[in-house]
């Protein structure tokens, strides 16, 4: 008899990632909904999408559920999250994945099928400092087609309102503490469980060798993102959705 081949439940892994992310962002599904509303409004229902810093493919999953005729190219550097994404979407010809470092000046040369109708990203670019993020925005202006859209949903902090920020954070963290007491896994627990999965153990170890416990970055305001996108060559940019802690900025070429 041959050796048993290690397997994992990709749908369960995808769902567990969603639950862990929702622990930090209770409005996560609402901002995905608005993001896809604006995809439809700006570029239609069969877009060619670049899922930027795609992780497990959370955006792509929702994109294809809503727009079956869409296609997606997911790009990320994280080997563990890409392993989950590739397992989850295995056999779906609408989806391709590319491993690339967004801080590498030549990363866009690895992309197929461009330019794209829309480039979408969520809860990802906060690991970049503002200098590299502004440079990335300049690169993205050449990846989005004329008339196409870029959207970034992330933690965007207004430094001019420290008391509001502190109140919001305290309220959100109290809710997170209650959820954790009921067994919802946080970031560290999710990764501990991933490291115990025979299929993900190797990619998880590689992931931590690249990033450490958590990549450092910055969370500038939505106003900063708008200005940076306009400076990068986009024609229009503004916030199209906000919660007390997060925002969704849309830019058009």
> What is the side-by-side strand order in the sheet with 71-76?
95-99, 71-76, 48-52, 116-122, 144-155, 246-252, 236-242
Does residue 2 lie in a domain region? no
- What gap in Å lies between CA 208 and CA 225, rounded to an integer? 28
Q: What is the domain-level CATH number for residue 75?
A: 3.40.50.150
Could you tell me the pTM of the whole model? 0.94
Q: Which of 177, 149, 171, 161 is nearest to 236 (CA)?
A: 149
> pLDDT (tens digit, 0 to 9) for every residue of the chain, 253 residues total?
444 445 789 999 999 999 999 988 989 999 999 999 999 999 999 999 999 999 999 999 999 999 999 999 999 999 999 999 999 999 999 999 999 999 999 999 999 988 999 999 999 999 999 999 999 999 999 999 999 999 999 999 999 999 999 999 999 999 999 988 988 889 999 999 999 999 999 999 999 999 987 767 889 999 999 999 999 999 999 999 999 989 999 999 9
Q: How many domains does the chain have?
A: 1
Euclidean distance between the first and final Cα of the chain, in Å? 58
Does residue 4 lie in a domain region? no
Can you give the residue range of the structural domain that contains 110?
A: 10-252
């Amino acid at each position: 008899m041959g050796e048993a081949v290690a397997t994992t439940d990709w749908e369960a892994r995808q769902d567990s990632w969603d639950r862990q992310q929702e622990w930090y962002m209770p409005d996560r599904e609402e901002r995905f909904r608005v993001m896809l509303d604006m995809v439809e409004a700006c570029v239609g229902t069969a877009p060619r999408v670049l899922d930027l810093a795609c992780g497990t493919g959370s955006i792509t999953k929702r994109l294809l559920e809503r727009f079956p005729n869409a296609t997606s190219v997911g790009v990320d550097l994280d080997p563990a999250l890409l392993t989950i994404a590739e397992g989850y979407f295995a056999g779906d010809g609408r989806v391709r994945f590319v491993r690339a470092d967004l801080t590498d000046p030549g990363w866009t040369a690895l992309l197929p099928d461009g330019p794209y109708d829309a480039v979408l990203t969520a809860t990802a670019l906060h690991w970049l400092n503002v200098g590299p993020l502004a440079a990335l925005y300049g690169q993205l202006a050449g990846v989005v087609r004329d008339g196409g859209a870029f959207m970034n949903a992330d933690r965007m902090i207004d430094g001019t309102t420290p008391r509001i920020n502190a109140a919001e954070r305290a309220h959100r963290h109290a809710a997170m503490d209650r959820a954790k007491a009921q067994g919802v896994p946080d970031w560290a627990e999710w990764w501990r469980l991933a490291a115990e999965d025979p299929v993900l153990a190797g990619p998880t170890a590689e992931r931590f060798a690249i990033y450490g416990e958590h990549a450092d970055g910055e969370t500038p305001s939505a106003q900063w993102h708008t200005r940076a996108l306009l400076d990068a060559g986009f024609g229009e940019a503004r916030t199209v959705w906000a919660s007390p802690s997060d925002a969704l900025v849309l830019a058009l070429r």
